[in-house]
Each structure stands twice: as C-alpha cells, then as structure tokens.
C-alpha cells in the first residue's frame, strides 16, 4: 500500500502534476537556482511517491562559462541530482562576450545544446514562473510588440530550436509566483545557488525584476496576475486571427517557402502584414517588426522587375522572383569553388547541395540507395582520357546547348530555364578541362552531347 504524503496539498505539487498530464519522460533545464531547484524537487517527489506513474526525469546543466563560479555551480547541480537519484548531464557552450547581446547568445546556445540531448519521447521542462511572465510582457511592451509579442510565454509549445526534430517545451510553474517558490524552498529546506549576475541591473530583465516590478507590486499587489491575464487575452486574439487567416493562406500559398505577391497586393496593409507574419511563423522564422514588414514589402516585393532584392531576417533571407516571395537560408558564395571528380564515387557538394553521382540508365531514379531528385537526367558523353572532370558553380560566356540553334549567354540560359538568380551559383556545372559540358538537371552543351552517362544529384535541399 502506498502512503500519499500530506504534502499532496502543496499547491506547487498540484500545479505541476496538472501541467505534466500524461507525459512520462521529462528533461529539466537545471541551473541550480531556486526556480529550477523547486521544479526538480517537485518532480522528484511526484515520482518517488508514485503520484505520477512511470515518470522518468533527467536534468541538464548548461555551463556557459560566463561566471567564475560556473564550475562550482555544475558540481552543486551534480551533487543534488545524485542525492535525488536523477540522471544528470553537463553540457558546455561557448559564448562570445565581445559581440552581440550576451543574454540572447546564452539563451540560443542553451536551447541548442539542450536540443541535442533530448530524446524523441522527452518533453523539455523549464522553470519560468509568473513573475518571469510579467517581465517578458513588459520587455515586449518596451519593444513596441503587438499581440503576438505581448502574449509572452506559453505554458506549452513546440520548440523550434532543434531543426532536425522539434520537441515540446513545457513550463509547469508559469502560474506560480516567485514568492510561492521561495516559500516552498524554505518549507522543504532546499539549497540552491545564487547567480551574481542576477543583481546586475544593466540587464533589462534584472532592471525590471529589481527596480520596476517591486514598485508596481507594492502599489498593486496582484499586478503580475493581471499581466498574465492580459497576456493570455493577447494569446487568444492571436490564435483566433491565425485560425481565420490560415485557410486563406493555404489557398494562396504555392509551397511553404513561396508566397505570391499579386494576391498580397489586393489586401489591406493590415491583412497583408498579418499574412506575411503567419507565413514566416509556419516557416519557424523570427517575427519582423512593423518597420521590417514595411521594408520587406517596399524593397523586396515592390522592387523593379529587373532588380534582385534581398532582405535579411535573422538566419533567413527573403527574396523575390517571378512575382513570388521566397524564404531562403543564407548561402555561402560558391563561385570560387572548383572540385575535381574521378567519376568513380559520389562527389560530396558544399553548402548542403547533396552529392553528385553518375548512371548509365536514363530513367534510373535510385542509385546506391540514394533518392535522386531528377526523374529525367540529361545524357552526356564520357570524358576522354585527356579530359579532367571538375565541378564548378560559375561560368561566363556564350554556349550552344543541345536541341537549340545558336548560342546564348549563360544569363539567358538561366532565364530560359526559370532558374532564380540565387540558384545560378548553386547548380553544379560539369566541366571537361575548361569546357562547360552540362548544368545538372538543366542543360547539356553541344560539346557534351551523348547518352553514355547521366549526371544525377541526390540528397540536396531545393530552394
């Protein structure tokens, strides 16, 4: 018979238990501070007292190296997890203190490191609480954010920090106040570490925590709860807007990373901005400001037809081609690249462009277990004994291609094959010595005419 502790009446236990619901595997982001200590202790008690059946809990400490005490903090966390019999991970990350926003760098590095350790069945648990939610709301207000930003933090969401496999992120303490957390830690005689940087009001969040919010709370004791209510209302309004716009976006969108400009022109400014934001959101892209949205529309979407505009937004770029907006990653400059190839084994291409291989069968779509993107590869002659094969990404001059009369400039050939400007230096070009033979999946020059071999490209991302 299991004896249930009287502490089951503990409000934090009830809140965390309700938040976990049917989840059975959790990875806790454990810094050793009071918030994550209370969260991990609560989960340990729920697990040990069998209040949540089959619950598996692990903890991870991210060592940023920003404090001289970081090594001692890691040891404290490890010792605590040993006492509570919680599997523990230490992960070190590098932060460049000389550039950028250190808080943002640390946060991004932290989530990226955690994502590498998450198992497929695990939910990431973090210890943000009600006062953190208030701070996040006020920071968004300071930035001039709209409803999406003022919605602040959701109790649960899908994390996009792992590009290979998104995971669920859960904040079980989000409705619990800092005072409740401190009272819990005192009642249960917990020990935790104090990060000295939390007292540095140079950081915006610390300034709010140490200076602004105490004054607001002294005047209005339930200020944080009211902020949380406003945040939730903003979240509901944002979700309703997305539900109303999503069917229309589905009708006009061509592929997830393309958006037709013509249909956006018919919208009001407000609706167009909302559709652009939703398009960026479904592609897991950082939300632009109102000014950035205006620049995207004016400098990219409405640019002259012969222009090649681009707008950089975080780790993506927005470009236009044939009256479509494209959302693309950043590309490396491949024009100087020259790769020698013996044709005996697949050639690995740079910048996630996959691999090149050859076949002797024109309709072969699978080679050595690899999926080929082109169903009708173009035939070429084999190189002569004195011809060296290289793969390049840049060509100049005029070329006569198979099946067409007369020569054309390389720019004209790209245009005829509807190749966007940013892809023209990303398509593998096959050279025999200094002679262009083929542009893979696009054309073959008369100097390479033949049906002896077929160049195939596998495993590459199409943009």
Residues lower than pLDDT 70 in the chain: 1-9, 50-51, 53, 97-101, 159-166, 362-377, 460-463
pLDDT of residue 292: 92
pLDDT of residue 363: 55
pLDDT of residue 3: 37
pLDDT of residue 219: 95
Look at strands 379-380 and 453-458 and give their pairing: antiparallel
Distance from C-alpha of 270 to C-alpha of 298, rounded to nearest angstrom: 15
pLDDT of residue 162: 41
Long-range contacts from 399-404, C-beta under 8 angstroms, 24+ separation: 399/436, 399/445, 400/445, 400/446, 401/443, 401/444, 401/445, 401/446, 402/378, 402/443, 402/444, 402/445, 402/446, 402/448, 402/449
- Find, among 443, 412, 408, 416, the residue nearest to 427 by Cα: 443
Give yes or no for a contact between 442 and 417, defined as CB atoms under 8 angstroms apart: yes
Structure token digits, residue 121: 């069945």
pLDDT of residue 368: 46
pLDDT of residue 317: 94
CA torsion angle 454 455 456 461 (round to 10): -150
pLDDT of residue 8: 56
pLDDT of residue 229: 94
pLDDT of residue 7: 53
Give yes or no for a contact between 441 and 427, defined as CB atoms under 8 angstroms apart: yes
């Amino acid at each position: 018979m299991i004896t249930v502790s009287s502490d089951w009446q503990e409000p934090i236990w009830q809140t965390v238990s309700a938040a976990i619901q049917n989840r059975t595997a959790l990875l806790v982001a454990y810094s050793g501070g009071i918030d994550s200590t209370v969260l991990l202790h609560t989960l340990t008690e729920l697990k040990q007292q069998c209040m949540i059946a089959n619950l598996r809990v692990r903890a991870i400490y991210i060592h940023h190296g920003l404090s001289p005490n970081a090594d001692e903090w890691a040891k404290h966390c490890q010792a605590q997890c040993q006492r509570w019999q919680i599997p523990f991970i230490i992960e070190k990350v590098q932060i460049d203190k000389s550039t950028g926003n250190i808080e943002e760098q640390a946060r991004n590095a932290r989530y990226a490191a955690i994502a590498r350790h998450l198992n497929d069945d695990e939910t990431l648990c973090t210890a943000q609480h009600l006062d953190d939610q208030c701070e996040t709301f006020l920071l968004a207000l300071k930035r001039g954010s709209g409803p999406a930003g003022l919605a602040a933090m959701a109790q649960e969401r899908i994390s996009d920090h792992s590009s290979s496999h998104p995971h669920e992120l859960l904040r079980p303490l989000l409705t619990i106040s800092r005072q409740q957390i401190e009272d819990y830690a005192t009642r249960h005689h917990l020990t935790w570490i104090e990060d000295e940087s939390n007292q540095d009001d140079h950081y915006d969040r610390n300034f709010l925590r140490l200076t602004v919010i105490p004054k607001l709370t002294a005047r209005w004791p339930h200020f944080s709860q009211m902020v949380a209510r406003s945040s939730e209302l903003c979240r509901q309004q944002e979700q309703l807007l997305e539900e109303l716009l999503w069917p229309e976006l589905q009708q006009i969108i061509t592929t997830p990373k393309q958006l037709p400009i013509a249909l956006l022109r018919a919208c009001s400014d407000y609706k167009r901005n909302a559709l652009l934001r939703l398009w960026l959101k479904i592609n897991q892209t950082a939300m632009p400001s109102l000014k950035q949205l205006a620049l995207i529309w004016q400098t990219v979407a409405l640019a002259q037809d012969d222009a090649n505009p681009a707008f950089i937004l975080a780790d993506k770029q927005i470009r236009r081609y044939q009256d479509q907006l494209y959302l693309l990653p950043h590309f490396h400059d491949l024009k100087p690249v020259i790769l020698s190839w013996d044709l005996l084994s697949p050639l690995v291409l740079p910048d996630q462009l996959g691999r090149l291989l050859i076949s002797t069968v024109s309709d072969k779509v699978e080679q050595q277990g690899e999926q080929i993107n082109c169903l009708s590869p173009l035939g070429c002659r084999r190189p002569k004994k004195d011809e060296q094969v290289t793969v390049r990404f840049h060509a100049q001059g005029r070329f006569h291609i198979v099946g067409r009369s007369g020569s054309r400039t390389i720019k004209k050939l790209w245009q005829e094959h509807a190749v966007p400007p940013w892809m023209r230096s990303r398509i593998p070009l096959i050279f025999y010595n200094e002679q262009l033979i083929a542009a893979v999946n696009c054309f073959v020059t008369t100097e390479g005419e033949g049906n002896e071999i077929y160049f195939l490209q596998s495993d590459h991302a199409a943009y």
